[in-house]
Structure 1
Amino acid sequence: MGTDYFPNTYTGLACFLCFFFVLIRTWRRRHLYYSAFKVNGPIPFPLIGSAYVFFGHTQNILESFTRLKRKYGLFYKLWMSSDLYFVVMKLDHVKAILNNCSEKFSTMKFVDPVFGKGLLTLPATEWKIHRKLLGGTLNQQILNSYVDIFANYSNVLVEKLEGTLDAGFVDMFPIFAQCMTDVLCGTILGTDLKVMKKNGPDVILWTAKLGELSVLRIFNPLLHPDFMWKKSSLSKQTNAILHNVQRLIKKILESKRREKSYLKLEQEPNLLNYMLKLENTETTWNEEMSAEETQAFLIAGADATSLTLGYVLMMLAMHQEIQKQVFDELDFVFGGSNRNVTLEDLHQLSLLERVVKETLRIFPVAPLVGRYFTEDLVVGNFTFPKGSSAFIPILCIHRDNEIWPNPLKFDPDRFLPGETAKRHPFSFIPFSGGPRKCLGPTYGYMSMKVVLATILRHYKVVATSYREISEIEMKIDVSARCVKGQNVILHKR
């Protein structure tokens, strides 16, 4: 018996065990392979699967979904490493998935640095608890009480915009980000940060960078393992920015706890006071949960509304006749007055609301949502297998020519009541859909209408740096952003 016998034996045993492991794993996942076999999609490779189609900058991700839609249609598969994803744009499929699946896909944990471990990212079992406890914090009565706060911060924004009038093209996102940070803090957190007056902190600009880093990780399976991520420069950048965000959240919470502001919940019915009360009355709630949800509500709300406001001004700059109609509506409601917007005014601004909705159709700030199948889901003649996930590219749905004829034409009349009634209810889902849709669409519409009704009575949007919508390049982090900025020129009316 030679000295090489034992090494050869060990090598053979190791190969056999590896083969046996692969065989068992393949057998256990046979239902995934069976379903995947029925659906077209990019060819997968070992380790990375089909993720190579997304490699590069975050701008490539949205372009890839658009390109793959042209090649494979409204339903195709992607392998992200060994995880199976179905990309779904058939509206009946979208409806079934969003209505029946509450679990976010596994890589959603990679956006925890952006939104915290709150309603947006929690596993379904924990999400149900948080949703039940916090669902009433944005009811209509509370939202109505916020209108004066929206109006007051809008007036501060009008003053701030005065300084941009002689600057040529100005990127509106950083300005709106400051405004909506003030608005969110002043309403749901009951805290006046005076971000517009003090020029900081730039919470939403931090968010944009955190989102970009998180999405780069989601679409690169090589960075999914924690040990690989921690060795990367992206991880170091994430930790540095996250430290700033968490320090700000901690400062707000500690100040409110010292004030015992939750004792004034009836006089100041905001989310933060309600969570502080839960800390003292609900055994299932703790200080860490308050911090995570504060981060989620502040960042998700301010980021989405800031971006949408910038896109609205760009659309009005491109479509001067629609801007004239909006101003005529404002003139009819306000009679040439610069008084504060009231709740009664909002009910009369129907064209302005249609403008916001059409903007959200073309530029949904959450361009992609996903779900994980904890059980088989049968839709029509196809079964989405347990253990797989679904990507739902909202941007592609909102720009699909079969659903929205001439999709890059800006036409607010698409949202006249008669037109809306003709369409599938899941053809327009800027805030997602189903049980896990965003808690705050009404808050978003109300706050944006107040801001727009205020600034458009003071300023005319005379130009944007883009000639047409097709020129606007977009990239994805946790939101869809302009690669070259939301650039407009304002003139005083």
Structure 2
Amino acid sequence: MMIALLLLIVFVLISFLSWIHLMRDCNNFNFPGPTPLPLVGNGHMFVIKATELLPRLHSLLKTYGDAVRVHLFHQPYVIIYNPKHIEAVLTDPDLITKGVSYDYLVPWLGDGLLTSTGEKWRLHRKLLIPAFHFNLLQSFLPVFLKNQKILEDKLRCTYSDGKEFDLFPIVAQVALDNATESIMGVSFNSQQDPNSKYVKSVETLDRIVSLRMRDIIYSKEAIFNLSHHKKAHDEAISVVLDLTKKVINKRRKELQNQNITSYGGRTELGIKNKHAFLDLLLLSEINGKRIEDTDLHEEVQTFLFASQDTTTSGIAYVLYCLSKEQSVQEKVFEEQKAIFTDLNQDPSYSDLQQMKYLEMVIKESLRLYPPVPLIARLITKDADIAGLKIRKGSTLIVDIIHMQRNPDYYDDPMSFIPERFDTSASKTSRNPFSWLVFSAGHRNCMGQKFAMMELKVILSGIVKKFKVLPVDMELQLCADVVLRSENGVKVKLLPRNEFLNNF
């Protein structure tokens, strides 16, 4: 009885000291937030279903204003969605360190461009910029076209019967093939072999990392290491890293056998070089030295991850929007007919540049359904961000999805209006930080032209051959590694000829 009483007294004392600390910490911020509880802070507010996270963030912003302070246990977080504040953060050269949630990617991606910071990040970003040179982008087009044809055949044979199906797993396979072949020069044929170890391992890592990012229980290393997820996580990482290592070593031997020792001047050969990205990493130098093997593996994994997941999300939601907006879909189809005399013709790089309306459609879909709905920054110094006083050690969350749906920045924001992005029309100027699909500032996405080209190739091919029809469903959005829907992203397909015959 005495021991129980002592434990109770100790618990009460610790709780009181915790509450005092949290309340004092709240005074370090000059903007409001919910009152924290002892020990857990506001953590109890985030023990919720995956589909409840985005509504919870939006509710906090609506209640407390453009900036909200919350504590998960004793760790302070700041949620923002005003472009004025976002611009101040993303353009500050000292605020380039990603938030703590990115730590869950480190066992998979290492200290690559997505997760690194400081001088290493600056050097590697400078090194990798040539990977998205105009000529190298053209070298990826045959890859995209080949995999688009495989997708088209798969859709025609299996999914064009007018029955609903989930786009995400189908699109994920073509996006993965595009990523592996354009980045490493080899395809794992995930469209034809979706049960391969590599494909399954990537799916496992996506699922587990997403869980850790949104669940405050599994976010704790000690708890995660005791869970059944730890074994699956480590096995998947082993498969992915081993296979990547084999591909890199094979290409290194090929370069040695061909006596190729320098990447200098090879960008003009990019159209013929299917190993363009990998060769850049293998042959380039930083401060007179070749890139370390560890760094090389990290950058390959990073670009595979970044290009596959985000592209999957982007394509799936564009097709979903087109299914709901039939008049828009027909305008996209009319544009295709205006560009191609033969709809079976493969697009050239210049043809893709003519797809102005399709690009507007893509941008409007990405506004409503950004592949990365939230980004985070670790505040590494006491900062005044456009009037917000934020203390060192806080994690800042940029709520992209709700900013891009805010009526203060977009008229009738929940309506699908591609013409918002018509650059040829005279429009009211919009803050460039009110559309953040490819981020902005110092850590903006280097691969945005790569992504736009891939989206155009796949979407153009689908719209030319199929009528995308709607399914009666409401998306249950989840902010995982990318924006997903718990009940899928579903549409129906009919071949265009069959559609015309039936209607």
Give TM-score scaled by structure 1 length: 0.87
Pick one of 144, 148, 173 that aligns with 1:178: 173
User: Quick one: structure 1 residues 208 and 395, their matched pair in 2 at CA, closer, same or farther if it must change by over 3 Å?
Assistant: farther
* Alignment of 1:250 onto 2:242: no
Q: What amino acid is the match of 2:279?
A: N
Structure 2 equivalent of residue 45 of structure 1: 37
Q: Measured at CA, do residues 391 and 420 of structure 1 come closer, stay the same or move farther in structure 2, by a change above 3 Å?
A: farther
- Separation in 2, partners of 1:489, 1:223: 37
**Residue type matched to 1:453 in 2?**
S
- Which of residues 461, 469, 486 is equivalent to 1:462? 469
Task: Give 1:205 shift.
Answer: 6.2
Q: Of 155, 166, 169, which residue of structure 2 is paired with 1:161?
A: 155
2:475, 2:485 within 8 Å by CA — same for their partners in 1? yes
Matched position secondary structure for 1:188: helix
In 2, Cα distance between equivalents of 1:212 and 1:483: 12
1:84 aligns with 2:76: yes
* Matched positions, count: 469
Q: Report the residue type matching 2:328 in the other structure.
A: I
Ranges in structure 2 where 5+ consecutive residues have no aligned partner: 1-5, 497-503
- 1:132-211 to 2 correspondence within 5 Å? 132-163=126-157, 164-166=159-161, 168-201=163-196, 206-207=201-202, 209-211=204-206
Q: Which amino acid aligns with 2:435?
A: F
Residue 435 of structure 1 corresponds to 442
CA distance in structure 2 between the partners assigned to 1:202 and 1:364 by the alignment? 29
The alignment's TM-score, normalised by the length of structure 2, stands at 0.86
C-alpha distance in 2 between matches for 1:201 and 1:465: 33
Distance 2:134 2:436 in 1: 21
The 5 A counterparts of 1:226-305 are 226-260=221-255, 263=260, 266=266, 267=269, 268=273, 270-278=276-284, 283=289, 285-305=291-311
Q: Would you say 1:477 and 2:472 are equivalent positions?
A: no
Report the alpha carbon displacement of residue 394 of structure 1 after superposing the two structures with TM: 0.6
Which region of structure 1 is more displaced relative to structure 2, 184-193 or 423-432? 184-193
CA distance 1:199–1:210, change in 2 (3 Å): closer
Same amino acid, percent of matched pairs? 28
Tell me what 1:4 maps to.
Answer: none
CA apart distance, 1:69: 2.1
Gaps of 5+ in 1: 1-10
Q: Distance in 1 between matches of 2:199 and 2:437?
A: 19
Q: Given the superposition, is the C-alpha separation of residues 441 and 68 from structure 1 closer, same or farther in structure 2, using an over 3 Å criterion?
A: same
The answer on whether the counterparts of 2:475 and 2:488 sit within 8 Å (CA) in structure 1 is no
Give the Cα separation in 1 of the matches to 2:453 and 2:399. Answer: 26
Does residue 395 of structure 1 match 2:401? Answer: yes
Give the Cα–Cα distance (whole angstroms) in 2 for the partners of residues 293 and 282 of structure 1: 19
Shift of 1:463: 2.6
- Between 208-217 and 292-301, report the one with greater CA deviation: 208-217
Q: CA deviation at 1:221?
A: 4.5
Residue matched to 1:404? 410
Aligned to 2:209: 214
Spell out, residue by residue over 1:176-231, the C-alpha distance to the aligned partner (whole angstroms, 9 max, x if none): 11111111222222223332233353756654543443343344455444333211
User: How far, CA to CA, are the matches of 1:308 and 1:353 in structure 2?
Assistant: 12
Alignment of 1:44-63 (within 5 A): 44-63=36-55
What is the CA–CA distance in structure 1 between the aligned matches of 2:109 and 2:291, rounded to whole Å? 18
Q: Check if 1:99 corresponds to 2:91.
A: yes
Indicate yes or no: 2:125 matched with 1:125. no
SS of residue paired to 2:450: helix
Distance in 1, matches of 2:396 and 2:39, equals: 20
Distance 1:172 1:419 in 2: 36
1:278 offset after TM fit, Å? 3.9
Identify the range of structure 1 (192-201 vs 422-431) with the bigger mean alpha-carbon deviation: 192-201
The residue aligned with 2:457 is 450
- Cα 1:184–1:281 change in 2 (3 A) is farther
Within 5 Å, give how 1:234-383 maps onto structure 2: 234-260=229-255, 263=260, 266=266, 267=269, 268=273, 270-278=276-284, 283=289, 285-383=291-389
1:371–1:390 Cα contact (<8 Å) kept? yes
Q: Secondary structure at the match of 2:114?
A: coil
In the alignment, structure 1 residue 108 sits paired with structure 2 residue 102: yes
